[in-house]
Each structure stands twice: as C-alpha cells, then as structure tokens.
Amino acid sequence: MASSGGVRNGVGPRMSAKPDRQGFSATPKTAAGKQRLSSSAAAAGGAYRRTSSGPLPSRAASDGVSSRVRVAVRLRPRNAEELAADADFGDCVELQPELKRLKLRKNNWESETYEFDEVLTEFSSQKRVYEVVAKPVVESVMEGYNGTVMAYGQTGTGKTFTLGRLGEEDTAARGIMVRAMEDILADITHGTDSVSVSYIQLYMEMIQDLLDPVNDNIAIVEDPRTGDVSLPGATVVEVRDQKSFVDLLRVGEAHRVAANTKLNTESSRSHAILMVNVRRSVKGRTEMDVSISGENGHSSSMMGSLRPPIVRKSKLVVVDLAGSERIDKSGSEGHTLEEAKSINLSLSALGKCINALAESSPHVPVRDSKLTRLLKDSFGGTARTSLVVTIGPSPRHRGETTSTIMFGQRAMKVENMVKLKEEFDYKSLCRRLDIELDKLIAENERQRKYFDDEVERIRAEAQCRIAEAERECKITLENEKMKYHQEYLDSIRIMEEKWKVHQQSPKKQNKEAESTSNNTGEVHNLLQNEKMLRQSAEDEASDLKNQVSHWKKLEATATAEVVKLRKMLDAEASQKEKLEEEIDVLRSQLLQMSMEADETRRSLDKGDGPGKIFPGLDSLVSQTRGSQPREQSNGPKQPIAKLFEQVGLKKILSLLESEEPDVRVHAVKVVANLAAEEANQEKIVEAGGLTSLLTLLRSSEDETIRRVAAGAIANLAMNETNQDLIMDQGGVTLLSMTASDAEDPQTLRMVAGAIANLCGNDKLQTRLRGEGGIKALLGMVRCGHPDVLAQVARGIANFAKCESRAATQGNKVGKSLLIDDGSLPWIVKNANNEAAPIRRHIELALCHLAQHEVNSKDIINEGALWELVRISRDCSREDIRRLAYRTVTSSPTLQAEIRRLGIKM
C-alpha cells in the first residue's frame, strides 16, 4: 500500500511517456467559441489522428494504433440534502485539477491520491466537460474511427446530467449527447454523408428500443467476419437537424421513464445507450485505394468503373450506465435475488472485463453479458474511448466513491487499437452495376429480338429458294427423261433399219470394205508427211534457241568490258587530278626557288643596306621590285607576277592551308612577296589574304611561316586602308597574342613593325590602345634585340606624334595613353640607347609627350625631364635638339620645375 499522500495511480508515468496524450488536454484551445471540428484537429491531434491524414502508410489503417482509454473524474456539487446533512463534515474528496489529482480522505489524517487524465471540479461547466471528455472522440468519429463516451458512477452523481441534459431551459446546461450531435451535424457534408441514431436501454439483459418501446427484446447480431456487433432490430432514425435529434432524445427519455415505471425500477438500474452512426463518403485517393492498387498491381484506369466508392462508417456510442452502487444497499424495489443478480450482471461483467484488460489477461469475458458484448469495440477494441467517472462529495458514500475511483483507475490501463472504419461501398457500386446491368439486359433483349427476326427472315427466304430450285429441277429432269427416251426410240429404229439393210445385200458390204482400206492407206501417208514437217519445225526451233543463248553470252561479255573500261576511265581521272595538284605544288616551289635564286644573286651583287627598318622584308620586296628593271628590260614579265597570274591568287591563298608543310611555307613566302608590292596589296586583302595571314600567324607552329606571315602583315599595315581592315578583323588582338608568345626576334620585329605602323594612324589611336596594342608593344622589349627595340621605339614615337597632333588640333584633353599604359619608365631608360634608331625615336617621342601640358607631371615624376634637358643640350641632331629646347621652355610646369631645381637652360 502506498503511504498517505502518495500517488496511487500506476498509469501516470506510462501515460506521460506516450505520444497520444491528446485526450483530455484540449480544453484551452477548443474552449474558444464554436469551431468547426476539423479546425480543432490540431488541439486534439494525436497518434491515430496522424494515421488518417498524415503520411503513414495503409498498414496503420489496417493494423490500428494504440490508444489508451481516457478517464476523467467529475465531482458533483453538494446537493441541498448534503448541504444540510453533511454541513459539519468536510468532503471526502479533495481535487487538485491543475495536477490532475484527486485526494480521497480516509479519515482526518489519512488520504490517498489518484491521478486521472482530467479532474473536473464541481465548478466545471458542461461545455468544458464536453470539450475535454467527448470532443476528441467526436472528432475521431468524424474522421472514420469508432468512438465511445461512457459515464460510470453511483446513482445521483451526475451521469445523466453529464451525458443526457437537453439544456432546453438553459443552453449552457446541454450535455454531451446534444453537443456531440451539434458538432457532427456541423461537420458532415449534406448530400453525401449521413447520420442516423438508435437509442436503446439495457435492463435485466434485455434490450429495449427507446424509440419504439414495444420492441423490447432486440437481439445482438455479430458479424462473423469482422466481429462487429449491431442491433438490426432497433429503430434507426436518420438525423438531419439538431431539433429533430433533441426531439428524439426527449422521446427516448420519456419512454425510458415510462418503461422503468412499468418494470417497477428506476432509470438508475438500466443502461441507456445512444448509438450514432456516421457514414461519410471519401473523396480522392485513400489509404484503401493505395493498398488495393498496390496489392494487385492493376492500373487505376482499369479499375476505374469497377472500383467501388469508399465510405467511412464510424459509430459513436454514448453510454449512460446504471448506477454503480451495489443493489443490496439500495435494494428497496423488492426484487428477488435472481433479479438483483440479473440487474447487476452487465455492470459486474463490465468490471471483470476491464480488470482482465487492465491486467492484460489472456481471457476477457466479453460474452458474459449483453453490455460487454455491445461494448466489445469500446474496451480493448478499435474505438477511441473516453470514460467519465462521476462522484459525489459526501463522506457517507465514501465506499461507493472509492470503488468508482478504482474502476476509473483500472479503465485507464485499457489499451485500444484504434482503426479506421473505411470500407468499399459495395452497395452503391452494386446499385450502379444494377443500373448498368439493366441497361445491358434491355440492350441484349433488343439485339436478341432483332437476331431472331433476322433468322426467321433468312429461313423463310431459304425455304422459298429451295422450293423454287426443286421445281426447276423437276422440270429439267422431266425434259431430259423425255429427250433420252426419244433418242432411245430413234436409235432402235435406226438399228432396225440397218439390220434390215444388212440382211438384204452382203456383196455391197464387201465393196465398202475395200474402199475403206484404200482410204486408210491415204490417211497413213498424210500422217507420215505431217510427222516429217513437224520434225523439221522442231529442229528449226532448237536452232533458234541455241542462237539466242549464244547472243546472250556475247552481251554479258560486252557489259563486263564496258564496266572495266569505265573503271579505267575513273582511275585516269583521279590520276589527272593528282597530277594537277602536283603541278600546282611544283609551280609554287619553282616560284620560291626562283625568288631565292634572285635573292642570292642580288645579295651577291649588292649586300644588305644598313639602317633599314625591314631589311628582311626589303629583300623580299626587292625580289619583285629589285629585279624589275632587269626582267623588264628583257621583255617578258618577272617570274612571280607571271606565276601569280598563272596560278591565281585564290589558289596561292588556298595553299596557305595545304596539308603539306613545305607547300605552306612556299605559299606564305609568295604571299609575303606579293604583299610587298603595293599594287598587289588591295587584291590580296580583297581575296581574304589578310585574314588568312592573321590566322596563320596565330595557328602555325612553324617559326618561318610565322615570321614571313608577320612580315607580310607588317607590309600590309603600311597602307591606311589596310590598317582599318586589320583593326576590323581583330588583327591587333592576334598581333598582341603573337607578341606575347613568339620567341624569335625576327618574328617579334615584324609584329612590332606592324603595330608601329598602326600607331601612326590618328583615327585608330583609342581602339589600338583599347585592344592592347601599346601593352603588346611594350611587352616585346623583353626580347632585348635592338631591331625589335627600334620598332617598339618607332611605334611609341608614332603614337606620341599622333597624340600631340590631336592636342594641337584641340581634340585631346586627357593624359597620354602611352603614359597611362606605363611606357614612360622604358622611354626614360632607353632615351640614351646607344643604337641610333632606338634613341632617335625615343627622343622624338619624349618631345611629343612633353609638348602636352597634362603629361608634365608624369614627365617630372618619372625623371623624363632630365632626359629632355639632356636632349636639348647634347643631341647630335640639331632639329631634335631645338625641338627639345622649345618644348621644355614653352611648358610652364616644366619651366617651374627647372627653376625649382636650379637648372640652367
């Protein structure tokens, strides 16, 4: 025994560990006004709620989810009698609703504490009682689960008050039955869903219909398949509105009182059971659908017409039990002992069942009473069950109160497995199929009638035809018979005549035989003749046949010959093509060799002139130019021009892409030579030569090709029109890439030369710089070769000159792009380069830069002013020396700096 003050309930800790403790905790949320059931689902949400709407698979629906019976205790306020009689005594119970505990006083110093799912004080409103006890059950009924709400307690403690009050005089007094129906009616969909009720009482193991009291021995029927119990004998009334339901309850209650008066008992001796059947059709795909289509693998479309609609048929059972007090205590009604046993049989059986379930005993004596059979699903079954145990405060009934509390405590240990009551609506499918079937039967009948008529028609027609044919046949046979008969008679007659003749003249007969033998000989001869003729015809035919086969053979041989000749012709043609290609190659090689010979000859004659910007190029150029006078004086055209005309520019350019590396080298050299001649430049560019050369420059791995191609581009870049074209075709970018990749100083020299030429074009300044021309130029100084540096210096000088020209024309205001691109340090470093071409270009470049005032600051900062001063003093070329002097003295900024430094000019 637990000591005084201890908690006596073994369920407590187990309960709190469970996830489905939703039952009696809904009060605060649902108490706020009239809500639709579905909206309060969150408040009432719990384990099995999730199975019906959440992602749990269909297994949950078929296996059920564990849900414990929920038990609340409700204390009735003291009644008038108790107020008077027990005025001096304290109540035997003390409630701690916030702790959900009840203290039962044994005496003044000792008490026991019990824990319930909910503890409802004497002040609890009917609304609150409904919301904590019944509402979660009603909600789950609406979702398709069975539900039970039951009141247990001593007579007079408020079971009927809690469940059955109609509240007509005071709305707030409405009991659970009325409130439950209100919620159900608010939630169903009229038209597709339906609600019906039966109302019965159970007394002395007899079930009586409270809606039709004459019907007082209703049988319980158990479905052998599902084990579900039902009362088919009870009246079922469909409920459409709240008023008709309240009327039904009133009628039921009146019948209950009347019946009990007749039976000489009190209402408190009988159990009243209200059964509400809710039938809802399920729209959309349900767990059942999933499991069905999953199991047999049929596609949903195939099942479409045969798939029955799905319905959820759930049942809410509200049980107002008979008073739980022992009958012998209040046995004032004068029943025999047998009767007394029978009266209490159901209630004690219920107690036994609950004990067995609470102790998980293997046997639960469900079949012992009608009540336990009817409540099979409510305890240990698939329903969600709430029990409210009602107690009074009076210490006089401490014994009854204790036993009520113990009943409640045991009931709390009962686990149900709630299960969705979803099933296929075979009835409605059946109805649909019946209609379909009737349609088909009618159609079938129509078709059958038509078929029979048709058969009859054909039969009659056939009979007609047969009769006709028989008639015709008969006539024909008759005719034939007569004809043959006539013929027979005729031949008999002829025979008789012949016989007569024979009899008369045997001599004549001999003569006839002779002439007949003569005739035979003639015929034999004719036959012989015929045979011979036929033989000769046959011979002729075979002869002709032989000739035909001979001709055929000859034709086949000739065809083969033609095929052979055609093949040879094809081979010849391809050979010719190859030879032509070779001729092209040889021609270009000849061209190259003649150029090289020219070059050799000339260099033997003259040698390279110093100080030229493009000695290599010049030599290439001179192959056309230099040899001109000689060749011209000799009359015929120079070899290149000749070849140029013979081979054709397009062909030469196409050779640039030849597979043969040698051919490519020759071709690029020829193009370079042609590009050196101003007259050819336009044609080359027109024919796409510039593009080919630029591409070659980028793509070729061969150093010679790159060098020569760069030289050709440099030559083309001397002309202003071509400069525009080079820019337009992305030439600067290609040249810049080559500038950064190439190693060979001669290639770099050509590239630098080409860019330097572009630098001299006033219109292209900004674009040239934008596409990286200046950076490329400056990048090439890494090579260090004086020829390259000279081209770089020339480019810078050209660019600076254009800039200063633009400045004097008043166009430019900004700082020099050359300075922006970081050329000043290199300029300063090489301003006194020992190679004259480099030095001159840089000196000029410096002068041009200094002529523009915005550059002065950088010129001073980078130390270029010193170089300018030096140039103005020491330059060997007088024109440059003067230019430098003029430049320095005419710039106010430079002048100021010179003064500041104390330099004497």
Residues that bind ligand ADP (CB under 6 A): 76-77, 79, 153, 155-161, 268, 323, 390
Residue closer to Mg ion (CB basis): 267 or 761: 267
Tokens encoding 481? 């018979």
Per-residue HEC secondary structure of 608-642 comes to CCCCCCCHHHHHHHHHHHCCHHHHHHCCCCCHHHH
Instruction: Tell me which of ligand ADP, Mg ion, none is bound by residue 390, counting a contact when its beta carbon lies within the kind-specific cut-off of 5 to 8 angstroms.
Output: ligand ADP
Exposure of 298 by Cβ count < 10 A (0-12 exposed, 13-18 middle, 19+ buried)? middle
| Nearest alpha carbon to residue 800 among 857, 747, 756 | 756
The answer on whether 390 is annotated among ligand-binding residues is no
Neighbours of 617 (CB within 10 A): 24
The answer on whether 235 is annotated among ligand-binding residues is no
The CB-of-331 to ligand ADP minimum distance in angstroms stands at 16
Q: Which residue in the block uniquely carries the two structure tokens 């032989």? A: 546
The answer on whether 624 is annotated among ligand-binding residues is no
Stretch that binds Mg ion, among 153-161, 515-523, 595-603, 731-739 (CB under 5 A): 153-161
The answer on whether 158 is annotated among ligand-binding residues is yes
Q: What is the rounded CA–CA span in Å between residue 181 and residue 277? A: 11
The CB-of-417 to ligand ADP minimum distance in angstroms stands at 30
Coil/strand/helix, residue 375: coil
Instruction: Enumerate the H helices of 285-424 as residue ranges.
Output: 287-296, 300-303, 337-358, 370-374, 398-411
Residue closer to ligand ADP (CB basis): 147 or 153: 153
The CB-of-361 to Mg ion minimum distance in angstroms stands at 31
The CB-of-74 to ligand ADP minimum distance in angstroms stands at 7
Q: Which residue is nearest to ligand ADP (CB)?
A: 158
The CB-of-204 to ligand ADP minimum distance in angstroms stands at 18
The answer on whether 637 is annotated among ligand-binding residues is no
Which stretch of DSSP H or E encloses residue 595? helix 506-605
The CB-of-325 to Mg ion minimum distance in angstroms stands at 12
Question: What's the Cα-to-Cα distance from 298 to each of 58, 220, 282, 291, rounded to whole Å?
Answer: 17, 39, 21, 11
The answer on whether 64 is annotated among ligand-binding residues is no
Q: What is the rounded CA–CA span in Å between residue 146 and residue 416? A: 11
Stretch that binds Mg ion, among 142-150, 156-164, 237-245, 277-285 (CB under 5 A): 156-164
Residue closer to ligand ADP (CB basis): 52 or 160: 160
Residue closer to ligand ADP (CB basis): 323 or 837: 323
Instruction: Tell me which of ligand ADP, Mg ion, none is bound by residue 416, counting a contact when its beta carbon lies within the kind-specific cut-off of 5 to 8 angstroms.
Output: none
When binding is defined by CB under 5 A, the residue of 160, 355, 385, 627 that contacts Mg ion is: 160
The CB-of-170 to ligand ADP minimum distance in angstroms stands at 11
Instruction: Tell me which of Mg ion, ligand ADP, none is bound by residue 77, counting a contact when its beta carbon lies within the kind-specific cut-off of 5 to 8 angstroms.
Output: ligand ADP
The answer on whether 159 is annotated among ligand-binding residues is yes
Instruction: Tell me which of Mg ion, ligand ADP, none is bound by residue 823, counting a contact when its beta carbon lies within the kind-specific cut-off of 5 to 8 angstroms.
Output: none
Q: What is the rounded CA–CA span in Å between residue 620 and residue 711? A: 9
How distant is the alpha carbon of residue 23 from its chain centre?
42
Instruction: Tell me which of ligand ADP, Mg ion, none is bound by residue 887, counting a contact when its beta carbon lies within the kind-specific cut-off of 5 to 8 angstroms.
Output: none
Count of positions on this chain that bind Mg ion (CB under 5 A) = 2
Residue closer to ligand ADP (CB basis): 324 or 622: 324
The CB-of-302 to ligand ADP minimum distance in angstroms stands at 57
Instruction: Tell me which of ligand ADP, Mg ion, none is bound by residue 410, counting a contact when its beta carbon lies within the kind-specific cut-off of 5 to 8 angstroms.
Output: none
Q: Which residue is nearest to Mg ion (CB)?
A: 160
The CB-of-346 to ligand ADP minimum distance in angstroms stands at 16
| Nearest alpha carbon to residue 65 among 82, 48, 53 | 48
Question: Would you state the torsion angle of the CA atoms of residues 280, 286, 290, 291, taken in this order, to the nearest 10 degrees?
Answer: -40
Residue closer to Mg ion (CB basis): 72 or 705: 72
Residue closer to ligand ADP (CB basis): 136 or 153: 153
Question: Would you state the torsion angle of the CA atoms of residues 226, 227, 228, 231, taken in this order, to the nearest 10 degrees?
Answer: 130
Instruction: Tell me which of Mg ion, ligand ADP, none is bound by residue 23, counting a contact when its beta carbon lies within the kind-specific cut-off of 5 to 8 angstroms.
Output: none
- Which residues have CB under 8 Å from 662's CB, separation 6+? 589
The CB-of-81 to ligand ADP minimum distance in angstroms stands at 10
Q: What is the rounded CA–CA span in Å between residue 843 and residue 829? A: 12
Q: What is the rounded CA–CA span in Å between residue 240 and residue 248? A: 12
Residue closer to ligand ADP (CB basis): 161 or 379: 161
Residue closer to Mg ion (CB basis): 159 or 848: 159
Residue closer to ligand ADP (CB basis): 263 or 854: 263
| Nearest alpha carbon to residue 687 among 746, 644, 636 | 644
Show contacts with Mg ion in window 599-618 (CB under 5 A).
none
Residue closer to Mg ion (CB basis): 162 or 622: 162
Tell whether residue 314 is a contact of Mg ion (CB under 5 A): no
Stretch that binds Mg ion, among 154-162, 273-281, 289-297, 411-419 (CB under 5 A): 154-162
Residue closer to ligand ADP (CB basis): 157 or 722: 157
The CB-of-88 to ligand ADP minimum distance in angstroms stands at 22
The CB-of-75 to ligand ADP minimum distance in angstroms stands at 8
Q: Are strands 422-424 and 206-209 parallel, antiparallel or unpaired?
A: unpaired
Q: What is the rounded CA–CA span in Å between residue 119 and residue 175? A: 18
| Nearest alpha carbon to residue 749 among 759, 735, 767, 765 | 735
Q: What is the rounded CA–CA span in Å between residue 685 and residue 722? A: 8
Instruction: Enumerate the H helices of 717-744 as residue ranges.
Output: 720-728, 731-741
Cα of first residue to Cα of last residue in the chain, in angstroms, is 124
The answer on whether 154 is annotated among ligand-binding residues is yes
Per-residue HEC secondary structure of 352-366 comes to HHHHHHHCCCCCCCH
The CB-of-270 to Mg ion minimum distance in angstroms stands at 9
Instruction: Tell me which of Mg ion, ligand ADP, none is bound by residue 773, counting a contact when its beta carbon lies within the kind-specific cut-off of 5 to 8 angstroms.
Output: none
Instruction: Tell me which of ligand ADP, Mg ion, none is bound by residue 157, counting a contact when its beta carbon lies within the kind-specific cut-off of 5 to 8 angstroms.
Output: ligand ADP
Site string for Mg ion, 100-139 (x = CB under 5 A): ----------------------------------------
Instruction: Tell me which of ligand ADP, Mg ion, none is bound by residue 153, counting a contact when its beta carbon lies within the kind-specific cut-off of 5 to 8 angstroms.
Output: ligand ADP
Tokens encoding 178? 């009325």
Residue closer to ligand ADP (CB basis): 323 or 731: 323
The CB-of-237 to ligand ADP minimum distance in angstroms stands at 24
Q: What is the rounded CA–CA span in Å between residue 797 and residue 854? A: 18
Contact 852, 890 (CB under 8 A): no
Q: How many helices (H) and strands (E) does the chain have?
A: 39, 17
Per-residue HEC secondary structure of 105-174 comes to ECCCCCEEEEECCEEECCCCCHHHHHHHHHHHHHHHHHCCECEEEEEEECCCCCHHHHHHCCCCCCHHHC
Instruction: Tell me which of ligand ADP, Mg ion, none is bound by residue 736, counting a contact when its beta carbon lies within the kind-specific cut-off of 5 to 8 angstroms.
Output: none
Instruction: Tell me which of ligand ADP, Mg ion, none is bound by residue 156, counting a contact when its beta carbon lies within the kind-specific cut-off of 5 to 8 angstroms.
Output: ligand ADP
Q: What is the CA radius of gyration of the chain?
A: 63
Instruction: Tell me which of Mg ion, ligand ADP, none is bound by residue 158, counting a contact when its beta carbon lies within the kind-specific cut-off of 5 to 8 angstroms.
Output: ligand ADP
Residue closer to ligand ADP (CB basis): 77 or 825: 77
Residues at the site binding Mg ion, with contacts judged by CB under 5 A: 159-160
Output the known binding site: 153-160
Output the known binding site for ATP: 153-160
